[in-house]
Structure 1
Amino acid sequence: MKTAFKTILTLLLTTILVVSCSRKKDKFVSRNFHAVTTEFNTLYNGNIALEQGQNSLNMAYFDNYWDVLPIERMQIREEVMLPGQSKNEDFTRAEEKAVKAIQKHSMNINGKEVNPQMDEAYLLLGKARYFDQRFVPALEAFNYILYKYPASDKINQAKVWREKTNMRLDNNELAIKNLKRLLKQEALEKQDLADATSMLAQAYINTKSVDSAITQLEIAAQATRKNDERGRYRFIQAQLYNQLGYRDSANIAFDKVIELNRKTPRIYMITAYLEKFKNFDFENDDKFEAIELLTKLEEDRENRPFLDKIFHQIGEFHLGNASDTLAVDYYNKSLRTNSQDKLLQARNYETLAYMYFDNSEYARAGAYFDSTMINLTLNSKPYRIVKRKRDNLEDVIYYEAIAKTNDSILHLVHLPEAERLAMFETFVSDLKVKAEEEQLQAEAAERNANTGLVTANNIPTSGNNIPQRGLPGQAAQFYFYNPTTVAYGKNEFVKIWGNRKLEDNWRWSSKGASATGNDVSSSATDLLALASDEEKFDPQFYISKIPTETKEIDSISKERNYAYYQLGLIYKEKFKEYELSKSKFQDLLDSNPEERLILPSKYNLYKIYEILGQNDEASIAKNDIIKSYPESRYATILENPELVSDKDENSPASLYEALYLQHENQEYAEVISKSETYIKRFDGEPMVPKFELLKATASGRLLGFEAYKKAINHLAVTYANTKEGKQAQKIETELLSRISSTDFVTAIDSITTNYKVVFQFNKNEKEAITTFKKTLDDVLKEIKYYRLSSSVDVYNAEKTFVLVHGLKNEAVAKTFTQLLTDKNKKKIQKPFFVISSANYQVVQIHKNLDPYLNRNNQ
Structure 2
Amino acid sequence: MLRLRHHFFYISVIIIALLASCSAERKNIISKTYHNTTARYNAYFYAKENIREIEKILDDSYDNDYNNILNIYPEIDSVLAKTYEDKVEECIKKASIAIQRHKNSKWVDDSYILIGLARLYSTDYVNAIETFKYVNTKSEDPDARHRALAHLLRTFTDYNEYNNAISVSDYLKKEKLNKNNQKLLYINRAHYYQVQEDHDNMVQNLVKAAPLLKKKDGKGRIYFIIGQVYQMLGFDAEAFNYYKKCIASNPEYELDFYARLYMAQVTELGKSSDLKSARKLFKKLLKDKKNKEFKDKIYYEMAAFELRQNNLDDAIEYLKESVKASTNNNRQKGQSYLKLGEIHYDSLRKYELAKAYYDSTITVLPKDYDNYEQIKERQEVLADFVEQLNTIQLQDSLLALSEMDSISIRKQIDEYIAAEEERKKEEEEKERKRIRRNTFNQLQDNTGFSSTSWYFDNPSAIAMGQTEFKRIWGDRPLEDNWRRSNKESEQDYEQVAANEDIGNTNKDTDNIEVGEEDPEMVVTAQAEKMYNQIPFSAEAKERALDQIEEAYYKLGNIYYFNLHEERNAATSFETLLQRFPETEHEPEVLYHLYLINKSLGKDVEKFKNRLLSQYPNSTYAKLLANPNYTEESTAANEQLKKAYKTAYEMYSNGQYQEALGVLNQAMNDYQETVFTPRLKLLKVLITGKTEDINLYQYQLTEFIKEHPDSDITPYAKELLTASENFLKKQRRLLGTEFVTYFDQEHYLVVVYDAGKGITDKIYPLIETYNDTNFEKQDLKTSNLILDNNRSITMVSSFEDKQEALAYFKKFVSEDVILEKTQNSKIYKFVITKDNFNIFYQSKDLEAYIRFFDKNYKNGL
TM-score (structure 2 length as normaliser): 0.51
Aligned in 2, Cα 1:419/1:245: closer, same or farther, shift over 3 Å?
same
Partner deviation per Cα, 1:182-221 (whole Å, 9 max, x = no partner) = 545x5x4xx5664455445556767898777656544532
Aligned in 2, Cα 1:400/1:541: closer, same or farther, shift over 3 Å?
closer
Q: Alpha-carbon deviation of 1:481?
A: 1.9
Counterpart of 1:232 in structure 2 is 221
Partners of 1:45 and 1:94 within 8 A in 2:
yes
Aligned in 2, Cα 1:488/1:362: closer, same or farther, shift over 3 Å?
farther
- SS in structure 1 at match of 2:218: helix
Are positions 1:77 and 2:77 aligned together? yes
The structure 1 residue matched to 2:96, chosen from 91, 95, 99, is 99
Q: Alpha-carbon deviation of 1:755?
A: 0.3
**Distance in 2 between the 1:165 and 1:482 partners?**
64
Counterpart of 2:344 in structure 1 is 356
Counterpart of 1:172 in structure 2 is 165
- SS in structure 2 at match of 1:133: coil
Are positions 1:481 and 2:481 aligned together? no
Counterpart of 2:115 in structure 1 is 125
Higher CA-based Rg: 1
Partners of 2:54 and 2:84 within 8 A in 1:
no
Counterpart of 1:313 in structure 2 is 301
Counterpart of 1:327 in structure 2 is 315
**Distance in 2 between the 1:645 and 1:272 partners?**
64
Q: Alpha-carbon deviation of 1:168?
A: 1.4
Give the number of aligned pairs: 585
Counterpart of 1:713 in structure 2 is none
Equivalences for residues 332-481 of structure 1 within 5 A: 332-336=320-324, 338=326, 348-358=336-346, 359-366=348-355, 368-369=357-358, 382-383=371-372, 385-386=374-375, 389=378, 392-393=381-382, 395-410=384-399, 412-414=401-403, 420-422=409-411, 481=467
Counterpart of 2:146 in structure 1 is 159
Amino acid aligned to 2:146: K
Q: Alpha-carbon deviation of 1:642?
A: 13
Partner deviation per Cα, 1:675-713 (whole Å, 9 max, x = no partner) = xxxxxxxxxxxxxxxxxxxxxxxxxxxxxxxxxxxxxxx
Aligned in 2, Cα 1:579/1:213: closer, same or farther, shift over 3 Å?
closer
Q: Alpha-carbon deviation of 1:567?
A: 4.8
**Distance in 1 between the 2:198 and 2:419 partners?**
70
**Distance in 2 between the 1:169 and 1:156 partners?**
20
Q: Alpha-carbon deviation of 1:163?
A: 1.6
Counterpart of 2:700 in structure 1 is none
Partners of 2:190 and 2:202 within 8 A in 1:
yes
Query: What CA RMSD, in Å, does the superposition of the two structures yield over aligned residues?
Result: 6.5
Counterpart of 2:546 in structure 1 is 559
**Distance in 1 between the 2:44 and 2:324 partners?**
48
Counterpart of 1:826 in structure 2 is none
Q: Which moved more, 1:288-297 or 1:200-209?
A: 200-209
Aligned in 2, Cα 1:534/1:351: closer, same or farther, shift over 3 Å?
closer
**Distance in 1 between the 2:260 and 2:43 partners?**
42
The structure 2 residue matched to 1:754, chosen from 767, 781, 785, is 767
Counterpart of 1:569 in structure 2 is 556
**Distance in 2 between the 1:21 and 1:93 partners?**
34
**Distance in 2 between the 1:603 and 1:355 partners?**
33
Partner deviation per Cα, 1:441-475 (whole Å, 9 max, x = no partner) = xxxxxxxxxxxxxxxxxxxxxxxxxxxxxx9999x
Q: Alpha-carbon deviation of 1:557?
A: 4.0
**Distance in 2 between the 1:567 and 1:208 partners?**
38
**Distance in 1 between the 2:759 and 2:590 partners?**
54
Amino acid aligned to 1:172: A
Partners of 2:622 and 2:629 within 8 A in 1:
no
Gaps of at least 5 residues in structure 2 are 24-28, 158-163, 425-456, 476-514, 631-706, 718-751, 780-803, 808-813, 824-860
Q: Alpha-carbon deviation of 1:251?
A: 3.8
Partner deviation per Cα, 1:33-75 (whole Å, 9 max, x = no partner) = 887776556555444433222111001123455665554x231
Aligned in 2, Cα 1:157/1:329: closer, same or farther, shift over 3 Å?
farther
Counterpart of 1:297 in structure 2 is 285
**Distance in 2 between the 1:602 and 1:90 partners?**
67
Partner deviation per Cα, 1:217-249 (whole Å, 9 max, x = no partner) = 445322322176322333344455457665544
Q: Alpha-carbon deviation of 1:379?
A: 11
Partners of 1:745 and 1:838 within 8 A in 2:
no
**Distance in 1 between the 2:187 and 2:61 partners?**
22
Partner deviation per Cα, 1:406-456 (whole Å, 9 max, x = no partner) = 234345445665565456667888999999xxxxxxxxxxxxxxxxxxxxx
Aligned in 2, Cα 1:130/1:356: closer, same or farther, shift over 3 Å?
same
Partners of 1:49 and 1:94 within 8 A in 2:
yes
- SS in structure 1 at match of 2:755: coil
Partners of 1:565 and 1:597 within 8 A in 2:
no
Aligned in 2, Cα 1:193/1:644: closer, same or farther, shift over 3 Å?
closer
Q: Alpha-carbon deviation of 1:632?
A: 4.5
Partners of 1:35 and 1:117 within 8 A in 2:
yes
Partner deviation per Cα, 1:521-567 (whole Å, 9 max, x = no partner) = xxxxxxxx9x9998435477467636373336523541353145325
Partners of 1:247 and 1:279 within 8 A in 2:
yes
Partners of 1:176 and 1:203 within 8 A in 2:
no
Partners of 2:267 and 2:278 within 8 A in 1:
no
- SS in structure 1 at match of 2:290: helix
**Distance in 2 between the 1:642 and 1:212 partners?**
48
Q: Alpha-carbon deviation of 1:377?
A: 9.0
Amino acid aligned to 1:565: Y
- SS in structure 2 at match of 1:302: helix
Amino acid aligned to 2:278: A
Partners of 2:264 and 2:282 within 8 A in 1:
no
**Distance in 2 between the 1:97 and 1:306 partners?**
43
**Distance in 2 between the 1:545 and 1:585 partners?**
31
Partners of 1:376 and 1:382 within 8 A in 2:
no
Counterpart of 1:709 in structure 2 is none
Amino acid aligned to 1:562: E
**Distance in 1 between the 2:589 and 2:540 partners?**
25
Amino acid aligned to 2:74: M
The structure 2 residue matched to 1:221, chosen from 166, 190, 210, is 210
Partner deviation per Cα, 1:145-169 (whole Å, 9 max, x = no partner) = 6778757xxx746732442233312
Aligned in 2, Cα 1:614/1:305: closer, same or farther, shift over 3 Å?
same
Aligned in 2, Cα 1:131/1:64: closer, same or farther, shift over 3 Å?
same
Amino acid aligned to 2:54: G
Aligned in 2, Cα 1:342/1:227: closer, same or farther, shift over 3 Å?
farther
- SS in structure 1 at match of 2:96: helix
**Distance in 2 between the 1:423 and 1:124 partners?**
80
Gaps of at least 5 residues in structure 1 are 1-8, 436-470, 490-528, 650-720, 731-736, 759-779, 789-808, 813-833, 844-858
Partner deviation per Cα, 1:279-314 (whole Å, 9 max, x = no partner) = 977999944443333333333333344444433332
**Distance in 1 between the 2:91 and 2:405 partners?**
84
**Distance in 2 between the 1:217 and 1:126 partners?**
24
Aligned in 2, Cα 1:751/1:234: closer, same or farther, shift over 3 Å?
farther
TM-score (structure 1 length as normaliser): 0.51
**Distance in 1 between the 2:613 and 2:276 partners?**
66
**Distance in 1 between the 2:530 and 2:216 partners?**
74
Aligned in 2, Cα 1:646/1:236: closer, same or farther, shift over 3 Å?
same
Counterpart of 2:262 in structure 1 is 274
Aligned in 2, Cα 1:35/1:398: closer, same or farther, shift over 3 Å?
same
**Distance in 2 between the 1:16 and 1:556 partners?**
110
Amino acid aligned to 2:147: V
**Distance in 1 between the 2:83 and 2:34 partners?**
33
